[in-house]
Amino acid sequence: MADADLDVVIRQLARQLQTGLMTRAKERRDRFSGLAAKAKGKETGARFKMLAKATMEQATSAARRLQMSADNVADSYARAMRLAASTPVEVKAEKPLKEKPAKKAAKAKKAKAKKAK
């Protein structure tokens, strides 16, 4: 992945998250369906079936939003990198540093003069 563009990595990570999200949602749906099958009352069974259906609907919409967000981020990143690559860079000439040895030398002379007294 070292040579991969980050937009590709973003999309791959989003796919992994989406897969994990849907797997967990299916497990929860199956659990609710199992509880619905074991329910003693008709109302309780209907409630569990409704929960199973709502779980899948919510998970599907969350996965869709996750994928859209990842696509937007990846597209934005790719666009920014293309723009940065196409923009010319201005190179500023470096100014030579002004050395101030005169002040240092003057201080050193004063220090030597004080020591000599």
Please state the pTM of the whole predicted model.
0.64
Rounded CA separation 4/14 (Å) = 15
| pLDDT digit string, tens, across residues 74-97 | 999 989 888 888 888 777 777 766
Q: 70-91 burial by CB neighbour count: b if 16+ within 10 A, else e?
A: beeebeeeeeeeeeeeeeeeee
- The mean pLDDT value for 97-107 works out to 63
| pLDDT digit string, tens, across residues 51-79 | 999 999 999 999 999 999 999 999 999 89
